Amino acid sequence: MKKISPVSRSGRFARGPGADVVQFTESVSFDWRLWRHDILGSLAHAAMLRKIGVLSKAEEIAIIRGLDQIGREIATGKFKWKPELEDVHMNIESELTKRIPAGAKLHTGRSRNDQVALDLRLWLRDEIVLLLGEIAGLQRALVSLGGKNTGVLIPGYTHLQRAQPVHLAHHLLAYVEMLERDCERLWDCHSRVNVCPLGSGAIAGSTLPLDRMLVAKLLGFVDVNGKPQLTQNSMDAVSDRDFAVEFCAAAALLAVHLSRLAEDVILWASIEFNFIKIADAYTTGSSLMPQKKNPDIAELARGKTGRVFGNLMSLLTLLKGLPMTYNRDLQEDKERLFDTTDTVRATTRLMAAMLRNTKINRAACDRAASDPALLATDLADYLVRKGMPFRQAHHTVGAVVTLAEKSGKPLNQLTLAELKSVDKQFGRDALGVFDLQRAMAKRNLTGAPGTKEVAKQLARWREQLS
Ligand code: ARG
């Protein structure tokens, strides 16, 4: 086989690299994914080179045609990637130059250092938008599940012990809030991804009169007012991967939220809770135990969190000791970034699909929520309304709970006489506290799990997500 020497070695090097070196240093086996964005960047660069007179009109047209043809071949799987040419950038450029002489002018004023920074930013920008779409889908699935089950109450838990009753929708909307913060963080990250590094060259810009503004505008690197966003320091621009770290950090927190949701789903799907039933298509069986239906999607969502955290740590470690500016170490950023985007996007999508195919077991929820002990705090509030200091009320209700336990009765079955034996201030209306519907009507503070407030929040989210 004839050895192909990368263009970066022609002139200076006597021969191409050895096979083991090629294998160790290549990145095309994974960075080929950037091809669409690499071509977009080259088209904008070519348009700019034409404007400043480096390319003739005919040369620009030939380059556009050539890149378009290569793009079609890649999309249909016909393009032959060559590891000897290292990466996606050199594969495309070298193929273009083979086909079109003007291809040799395309790299004018450009280095792979600013090119790869550009491609990554363009790629990540699209990925963020796609991920935001998936997150909105999951939010909608949560709102819809809550909306379909209005009136369903469950115990809210602290320390995984039954605490106070909440509407199921309130519990689900807690995740909608978390996911909304994830969206805000991702949009914030997007604003720093959306800055054009092209024109920074290898490290020190170019002596040619490149029109950076034009490239930025052509590639949509503009703020909300349409103002082009350019990196302001060529050394920073070629070695900066903060935007990738920021994305991986935001994704790690998203993964935390997905994992917590997964954990609730896993608990709720157990016979012990039995609050939900996940449709067969979204559960798996056991190879040994015929009765099993396992919530594997949720378990994998929880499990995949590990790699998302790991990717963030890898990126931080990759960057911490790098001297200025570009170092080949940076090639290691891609697989970590790709893995994080793939993982959180798929997990978000699958969690949404699973929730859309999950039914609430109302009877089991009702049974759990009707535990009168959940309203012990309401009984203390009753005494507070009678003028008792809360600390004393807390102590008094504690004694009532002990009495109920000793007499083997649920809290709401105690007689007025029994209540009065603990404290004289208990009146006839005391047992009314255990009316669950009334108890839920009273919880009407902003953000509280009361019936009216939850309906209001559901309506707010429906509107916001429509
Ligand atoms: N494959 C390289 C990367 O992903 C592209 C930039 C290479 N630049 C260089 N001077 N070797 O980082």
Active site residues: 159, 286
Burial 118-139 (b: 16+ CB within 10 A, else e): bbbbbbbbebbeebbebbbbbb
Q: How far is the CA of 84 from the centre of ligand 1 (A)?
A: 14
Q: How many residues are listed for the chain in this entry?
A: 466
* For the CA of 27, the nearest atom of ligand 1: 1
* For the CA of 88, the nearest atom of ligand 1: 1
pLDDT of residue 12: 76
Residue whose CA lies nearest to ligand 1 atom number 7: 112
* Mean pLDDT (whole number) for 153-174: 98
Mutate to test the pocket of ligand 1, among 114, 115, 328, 332 (most ligand atoms within 8 A of CB): 328
Question: CB-side exposure of 373: number of CA atoms within 13 Å?
Answer: 19
Q: What are phi and psi of 196, to 5 degrees?
A: -90, 120
89-101 pLDDT, tens digit per residue, is 999 999 999 999 9
For the CA atoms of 154, 160, 163, 164, the dihedral, rounded to the nearest 10 degrees, stands at -30
Helix (H, G, I), strand (E, B) or coil at 218: helix
Looking at the chain, the whole-number percentage of residues with pLDDT higher than 90 is: 94
Helix (H, G, I), strand (E, B) or coil at 156: strand
**CA 444/CA 453 separation, integer angstroms:** 6
- Listed in sequence order, the residues at least 6 apart from 379 whose beta carbon sits closer than 8 Å to its beta carbon are 397, 400, 411, 430, 433
Q: What are phi and psi of 294, to 5 degrees?
A: -105, 140
pLDDT of residue 353: 98
Is 98 exposed, middle or buried, given 0-12, 13-18 or 19+ CB atoms closer than 10 A?
A: exposed
* For the CA of 87, the nearest atom of ligand 1: 1
* Mean pLDDT (whole number) for 162-176: 98
Q: How far is the CA of 155 from the centre of ligand 1 (A)?
A: 55
Q: How far is the CA of 18 from the centre of ligand 1 (A)?
A: 18
* For the CA of 89, the nearest atom of ligand 1: 5
Query: For residue 324, how many other CB atoms are within 10 A of its CB?
Result: 10
Residues with CB under 6 A from ligand 1: 27, 31, 86-87, 112-113, 116, 328, 330-331
260-274 pLDDT, tens digit per residue, is 999 999 999 999 999
23-54 pLDDT, tens digit per residue, is 999 999 999 999 999 999 999 999 999 999 99
Confidence band of 5 (pLDDT split at 50, 70, 90) = low
Q: Where are the beta strands (DSSP E) in 358-419?
A: 358-360
* Mean pLDDT (whole number) for 299-318: 98
Q: How far is the CA of 38 from the centre of ligand 1 (A)?
A: 13
Q: Residue 273 carries which DSSP code?
A: T
What's the maximum distance between 2 C-alpha atoms anywhere in the chain? 102
Mutate to test the pocket of ligand 1, among 84, 85, 116 (most ligand atoms within 8 A of CB): 116
CA nearest to 394, candidates 407, 409, 378: 378
Q: How far is the CA of 293 from the centre of ligand 1 (A)?
A: 48
Strand partners, 158: 161
Mutate to test the pocket of ligand 1, among 13, 34, 113 (most ligand atoms within 8 A of CB): 113
pLDDT of 2 above 60: no
